[in-house]
Amino acid sequence: MYVYRCMICGDPYIGSAPPPNCPFCGAHGQFIVLAKDWEEHPVGELTEEERGLLQRTLELEIDNTTFYRAAMAKAEDVDGEMLFKALSRIEAEHASTVSKILQVPKPDWDKLSAEAFSTQQENLKDSIRRENRAVDFYKSALEKSQDKRVKEIFSALIEIESDHIALASERTR
């Protein structure tokens, strides 16, 4: 058994092999390394624009987390419930990661809520819309960012949110 660590969220994973995706933030396998080889990739001095992009990222991730929590309660089957639960946890991890970078408190999830549609299919369609919005924003943010670590995070988020689009799309067919 080995201890691995995610280069995006920093969380550890124990297993006989690295997971294909971080079980906490969803980052792809190229971001998973042996814990002994993990190096802190600190964020440098953020520009005002980068700080604004990260603040908007935090807002998007909070919005999506609360939406997925509400959608979970409206799920019509176990698959839908577990999908929305997993998505809410991943989005919450993104919010936590960005909160650390911005050096702001993590969201108090017990005080936040959102509305979801009444059917699972409507919520899946809204999930696709939300994730497309996030991917578009992260692509733009990636182009505007200068900091290596911030660019790495936006690159990972583009991949992760694209996975979410594929998951929801498979279930709306």
Gap between the Cα atoms of 31 and 8, Å rounded: 7
The pLDDT value recorded for residue 42 is: 75
Domain covering 2-37, topology:
Rubrerythrin, domain 2 (2.20.28)
Instruction: Please tell me the predicted confidence (pLDDT) of residue 3.
Output: 97
Query: Is domain 48-171 classified as CATH 1.20.1260.10?
Result: yes
User: pLDDT 10s digit of each residue in the chain, 173 long?
Assistant: 999 999 999 999 999 999 999 999 999 999 999 999 988 877 888 999 999 999 999 999 999 999 999 999 999 999 999 999 999 999 999 999 999 999 999 999 989 989 999 999 999 999 999 999 999 999 999 999 999 999 999 999 999 999 999 999 999 97
Task: Please give the pLDDT value at position 38.
Answer: 85
What residues does each domain of the chain span? Answer: 2-37, 48-171
**103-118 confidence digits (pLDDT tens):** 999 999 989 989 999 9
pLDDT at 61: 97
